[in-house]
């Protein structure tokens, strides 16, 4: 028996017990003839006490312990004279009788404490040490709890966990595929699934009725803080459902998770917003509705007053930053520079200060009278003391820029409280999205999403206006999940492929298996997938998903601990029938 208790377990009622503990040396403190050692394991920290007067050899041995040594001790639980109220074991310590070093440790490259002196790179290189830190363990614990409660809830709703393969053919989720060369079929490649989309639909044809899987998905995309090349989805599909059924079932899941994992209860139903409204009022399909600052179209009041930039713009749009008329020239210049960064891409920023005395001071005073600006203010619902921020240009682009500015102002003004959670269903997404580069329509969600019945006739005349039975769950400006009601009819699926620019042969070659399956009695079905990493990070009040993944990759898609990706040797290449040099020459 290595231990009788964990390092997080002992309390005042254990005083007098003889115990054995094992763990890591967090730190050692010497005080006169005494030595105190903080012993740590996953469950907590317990203080060990050594005393020269009781046993000098043992005390000397304790003083030799280095950080992160693995030790086992035996001793008596005693009451501490100076209690530590900050930790659950803080009322007791162990008067050690025996000390055994189970394994020595090199001095770690950074301190394994709440706050560490290790930068990102160093911590990732030694991620196994980083994970010893309580802060990271708490994040992984939250993840475990969310996954466990997801299983409990879905199991209770009759969902069945079915595994689907990783070595497959391309799935169209709009990203690039990771591919795996086949040794047995040289010159051919598997693709790693961007999601189990087609398989879960086939399982509906099989009569599984309710499927779920907590599953890895792979997408070869450029990385950002909230993206990883491999990530985990809670992937679900249901038969004989309409959109309303799916939304209700998964609103239930999210409510259950927040209650079970964070003790937070949502009141009433999650609000809903159409995609069109979300874009118009927030410039985003995942609006952060923890704060207002909604967009208002100023075309009517700002155009045709001789200000060329506005006159030529498709859209003039404004927001109100409450109580910010006090912003200094310097602050406003900084804000202007901020919107002009390439990441945002605005040409400039127009501001209007609505002073407390009712007067206006703006960056466009040359073109607009005080009365004009009052009209803007009224249009935007501003009051004295507020600051109006206005952008203009091509409508879609300007809305996106304004979205960035709004979120930035939300951060600046402390309106995005990480402990406040505001879910929002965004519904009625467009079915298709025009792509300037390829000059054709793409499926906005994926090609299996069904159009709204009443919009089908627009497919031929005005495809961009066809709405889909597709929905996303947004929370705090993050897309937590999305899904759709699927097409289950072969002919409609074939029509959809046609609109996406596939010839019959191409569609048959790539998705024949699915369309064929639809000929054998496919039930109406629909589903959703949540990004587990994002869900957990959001629940933990963080923007970055990396901390919630045990072994994440960096921005360049590298695992710097194991040093992957890496080259493989000639022999392996040969076996796979790959000749890299030849490919480079081509």
Using CB under 6 A as the criterion, which residues of the chain lie in contact with ligand ASP when the complex forms? 173, 195, 197, 482-484, 527-529
Spell out the SS3 assignment of 369-420.
CHHHHHHHHHHHCCCCCCEEEEEEECHHHHHHHHHHHHHHHHHHCCCCCCCC
Closest separation between CB of residue 457 and ligand ASP, Å? Answer: 24
- The three-class DSSP label of residue 50 is strand
For 347, the token pair is 């040409």
Distance, CA of 123 to CA of 116 (rounded, Å): 9
Distance, CA of 446 to CA of 485 (rounded, Å): 11
For 262, the token pair is 């964070």
Distance, CA of 149 to CA of 135 (rounded, Å): 21
Closer of 393 and 531 to ligand ASP (Cβ) = 531
Closer of 235 and 404 to ligand ASP (Cβ) = 235
Closer of 58 and 529 to ligand ASP (Cβ) = 529
Size of the chain in residues:
586
Closer of 446 and 553 to ligand ASP (Cβ) = 446
Closest separation between CB of residue 257 and ligand ASP, Å? Answer: 18
Closest separation between CB of residue 219 and ligand ASP, Å? Answer: 9
Alpha-carbon distances, residue 391 vs 268, 276, 412, 493 (angstroms): 36, 20, 18, 41
Closest separation between CB of residue 484 and ligand ASP, Å? Answer: 5
Distance, CA of 143 to CA of 133 (rounded, Å): 16
Closest separation between CB of residue 528 and ligand ASP, Å? Answer: 5
Alpha-carbon distances, residue 117 vs 111, 123, 311, 482 (angstroms): 6, 9, 54, 39
Residue whose C-alpha is closest to residue 282's, from 474, 104, 14, 22: 474
Closest separation between CB of residue 271 and ligand ASP, Å? Answer: 22
- Residue written as token pair 């993840």: 143
Closer of 399 and 534 to ligand ASP (Cβ) = 534
Closer of 215 and 335 to ligand ASP (Cβ) = 215
Closer of 48 and 217 to ligand ASP (Cβ) = 217
Q: State the number of CA atoms in the 13 A half-sphere of 378 facing the CB.
A: 8
Closer of 90 and 447 to ligand ASP (Cβ) = 447
C-alpha R_g of the chain: 30
């Amino acid at each position: 028996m290595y231990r009788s208790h964990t390092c997080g377990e002992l309390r005042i009622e254990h005083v007098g017990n003889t115990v054995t503990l094992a763990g890591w040396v967090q730190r050692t403190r010497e005080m006169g003839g005494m030595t105190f050692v903080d012993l740590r394991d996953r469950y907590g920290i317990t203080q060990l006490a050594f005393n020269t007067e009781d046993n000098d050899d043992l005390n000397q041995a304790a003083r030799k312990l280095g950080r992160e040594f693995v030790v086992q001790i035996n001793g008596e639980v005693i009451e501490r004279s100076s209690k530590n109220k900050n930790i659950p074991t803080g009322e007791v310590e162990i008067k050690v009788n025996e000390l055994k070093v189970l394994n020595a440790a090199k001095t770690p490259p950074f301190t394994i404490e709440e706050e560490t002196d290790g930068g990102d790179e160093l911590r990732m290189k030694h991620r196994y040490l980083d994970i010893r830190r309580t802060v990271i363990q708490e994040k992984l614990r939250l993840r475990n709890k969310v996954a466990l409660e997801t299983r409990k809830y879905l199991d209770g709703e009759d969902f069945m966990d079915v595994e689907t393969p990783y070595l497959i053919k391309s799935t169209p989720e709009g990203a690039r595929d990771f591919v795996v060369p086949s040794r047995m079929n040289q010159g051919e490649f598997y693709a790693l699934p961007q999601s189990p989309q087609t398989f879960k639909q086939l399982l509906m044809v099989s009569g599984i009725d309710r499927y779920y899987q907590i599953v890895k998905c792979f997408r070869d995309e450029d990385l950002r803080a909230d993206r990883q090349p491999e990530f985990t989805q809670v992937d679900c599909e249901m038969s004989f459902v309409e959109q309303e059924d799916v939304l209700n079932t998964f609103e239930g899941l999210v409510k259950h998770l927040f209650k079970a994992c964070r003790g937070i209860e949502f009141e009433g139903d999650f609000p809903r917003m159409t995609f069109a409204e979300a874009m118009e009022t927030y410039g985003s399909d995942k609006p952060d509705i923890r704060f207002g600052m909604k967009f208002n179209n100023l075309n009517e009041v700002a155009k045709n007053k001789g200000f060329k930039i506005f006159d030529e713009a498709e859209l003039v749009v404004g927001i109100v930053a409450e109580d910010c008329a006090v912003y200094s020239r310097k602050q406003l210049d900084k804000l202007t520079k901020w919107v002009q960064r390439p990441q945002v891409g605005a040409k400039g920023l127009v501001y209007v200060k609505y002073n407390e005395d009712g007067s206006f001071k703006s960056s466009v005073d040359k073109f607009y009278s005080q009365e004009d600006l009052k009209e803007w203010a009224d249009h935007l619902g501003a009051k004295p003391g507020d600051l109006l921020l206005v952008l203009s240009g091509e409508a879609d682009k300007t809305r996106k820029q304004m979205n960035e500015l709004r979120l930035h102002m939300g951060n600046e003004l402390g309106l995005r409280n990480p402990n406040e959670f505001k879910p929002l269903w965004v519904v009625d997404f467009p079915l298709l999205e025009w792509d300037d580069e390829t000059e054709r329509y793409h499926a906005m969600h994926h090609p299996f999403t069904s159009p709204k019945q009443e919009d089908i006739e627009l497919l031929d005349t005005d495809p961009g206006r066809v709405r889909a039975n597709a929905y996303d769950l947004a929370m705090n400006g993050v897309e937590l999940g999305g899904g759709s009601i699927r097409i289950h009819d072969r002919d409609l699926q074939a029509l959809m492929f046609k609109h996406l620019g596939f010839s019959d042969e191409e569609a048959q070659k790539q998705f024949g298996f699915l369309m064929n399956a639809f000929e054998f009695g496919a039930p109406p079905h629909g589903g959703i997938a949540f990004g587990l990493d994002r869900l957990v990070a959001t629940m933990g009040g963080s923007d970055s998903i990396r901390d919630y993944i045990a072994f994440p990759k960096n921005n360049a898609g590298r695992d710097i601990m194991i040093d992957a990706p890496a080259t493989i040797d000639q022999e392996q290449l040969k076996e796979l029938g790959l000749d890299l040099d030849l490919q480079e020459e081509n």
